[in-house]
Amino acid sequence: MSTPILTIDNVVKHFDITGGFLDQIRFKNGKFKLEKTTVKAVNNVSLSINQGETLSVVGESGCGKSTLARVVMGLYAPNSGQILYSGKRIDNLSHKEMLPFRKKMQMIFQDPYASLNPRKTVQRTLEEPLRFHNPKMSSKKIYDKIEEIMEQVGVDPAWAKRFPHEFSGGQRQRISIARGLILDPELIVADEPVSALDVSIQAQILNLLMETGKKRRLTYLFITHDLSVVQHISTNVAVMYLGNLCELADSGTLFENPRHPYTKALLSAIPKIGETSEKHIKLKGEVPTPIHLPSGCVFHDRCVHANERCVNQIPELLTLDNGTCVACHAVEENRVIS
């Protein structure tokens, strides 16, 4: 098997959100103690993507999807674990050593309003990264390239001199995609790229991503909470809950035969057009905060299959016969009917 283009190896990312000294003081068992408050955003997550594939990461708000994406892009350093690009470790590189990888990896953000600089014309937004990474490129070549990319994403090149506020949400997202594509990247990390858009515009953008993906053999790490989008575009799907990976499978298998109790609940809650709502699986309680992670399986206090072992022991990710990876004691013990 060839080396995956991206490997996320046992990544942990915690945020220290302790305030000043006074905020750290706790009174416990008759003693004062200093205590830090950490958000355990991503905990021991391992994933990999082969070239040309689309891996989607799904899960509910706050489960650590964006944090994972930012660790991959080098915007956050992981507390432990590593990120490999075509087998080469990149999470510990200096700014300069990272430059060639910055060109190969591009990120598209959720908010097409916030991610474009309002003071820059489309032309400047697209021109600057090109000049930065290709100092020897002639102006003629640069402008040709900008025109080509604008056409590719369906924004009239005649509008290159306009500012972001003159475009609609869908057009702005096309421009951010153009910015993502202009350096001919290999890997695109897209964090909720269509979530802010209406369905008719969403379809335009998804088609654009799928088409360019095929044409250029792009690899996508796709972050979203919209499961119908995931089902439509993914090769593989990773389901996260409270910073932990609970299931990983190829897209078809995951949607046909979800194994983890959380994945089952999540999939049963997707509203489907034209189907009357069947009884979806109700979860007990509420999502705990990633500051105080539950013991054992992080899902145990919401899970109907939870037992003693679930409360005490963290389930390992195990690979089932059909290739699905799942971290659940009940699945291992055959207590969940698939």
Partner 1 sequence: MSHLLELHDLEVKFALRTGDIIAIDGVDLTLDKGETLGLVGESGAGKSVTGFSIINLISKPGYISKGKIIFDGEVISSFSDEKMREIRGNKISMIFQDPMMTLNPVFTIGTQMIETLLAHKNISKSEATKIALEKLQKVQIPSPETRLDQYPHELSGGMRQRIIIAIALLTDPQIIIADEPTTALDVTIQAEIMDLLQELCETDHMSLILITHDLAVVSQVTEEIAVMYAGKIIESGATNEVISNPRHPYTKGLINSIPGSIKPGEKLQQIPGMMPTLSKIPPGCAFNPRCLEKIGICETNIPEPKKTDVGTMASCHLI
Ligand X SMILES: Nc1ncnc2c1ncn2[C@@H]1O[C@H](COP(=O)(O)OP(=O)(O)OP(=O)(O)O)[C@@H](O)[C@H]1O
Q: Whole-number minimum distance, CB 266 to ligand X, in Å?
A: 13
Q: Are 159 and 178 in contact (CB under 8 A)?
A: no
Nearer residue to partner 1 within complex by CB, 148 or 211: 211
DSSP designation for 1? -
Binding residue (CB under 6 A) for ligand SF4 from 222, 267, 305, 324:
305
Nearer residue to ligand SF4 within complex by CB, 119 or 284: 284
Contacts for 181 with CB less than 8 Å, ≥ 6 apart = 106, 149, 152, 153, 188, 212, 216
How far apart are alpha carbons 217 and 234 in whole angstroms? Answer: 14
DSSP designation for 164? G
The yes or no reply on residue 297 touching ligand SF4 (CB under 6 A) is yes
The yes or no reply on residue 300 touching ligand SF4 (CB under 6 A) is yes
253 class by beta-carbon count within 10 Å (0-12 exposed, 13-18 middle, 19+ buried):
middle
Q: Whole-number minimum distance, CB 218 to ligand SF4, in Å?
A: 34
Two structure tokens written together for 257: 């035969």
Stretch that binds ligand X, among 29-37, 55-63, 78-86, 251-259 (CB under 6 A): 55-63
The yes or no reply on residue 174 touching ligand SF4 (CB under 6 A) is no
DSSP designation for 178? H
170 binds, among ligand X, Mg ion, partner 1, none (CB under 5 to 8 A by kind): partner 1
Nearer residue to Mg ion within complex by CB, 216 or 225: 225
Stretch that binds ligand X, among 61-69, 99-107, 151-159, 182-190 (CB under 6 A): 61-69
How far apart are alpha carbons 56 and 73 in whole angstroms? Answer: 16
Q: What is the CA radius of gyration of the chain?
A: 22
Q: Which amino acid makes up residue 102?
A: R
Q: How far is CA 24 from CA 15, 28, 35, 61, 289, in A?
A: 15, 12, 5, 27, 19
Q: Report the DSSP beta bridge partners of residue 236.
A: 55, 250
The yes or no reply on residue 17 touching ligand X (CB under 6 A) is yes
Nearer residue to partner 1 within complex by CB, 140 or 284: 284
Q: Whole-number minimum distance, CB 318 to ligand SF4, in Å?
A: 11
Two structure tokens written together for 287: 């999502």
Q: Whole-number minimum distance, CB 224 to Mg ion, in Å?
A: 9
How far apart are alpha carbons 331 and 334 in whole angstroms? Answer: 5
The yes or no reply on residue 242 touching ligand SF4 (CB under 6 A) is no
Q: Whole-number minimum distance, CB 44 to ligand SF4, in Å?
A: 15
Nearer residue to Mg ion within complex by CB, 186 or 191: 191
Binding residues for ligand X (CB under 6 A): 15, 17, 39, 41, 59, 61-67, 225, 290
Binding residues for ligand SF4 (CB under 6 A): 260-261, 297, 299-300, 303, 305-306, 310, 315, 328-330
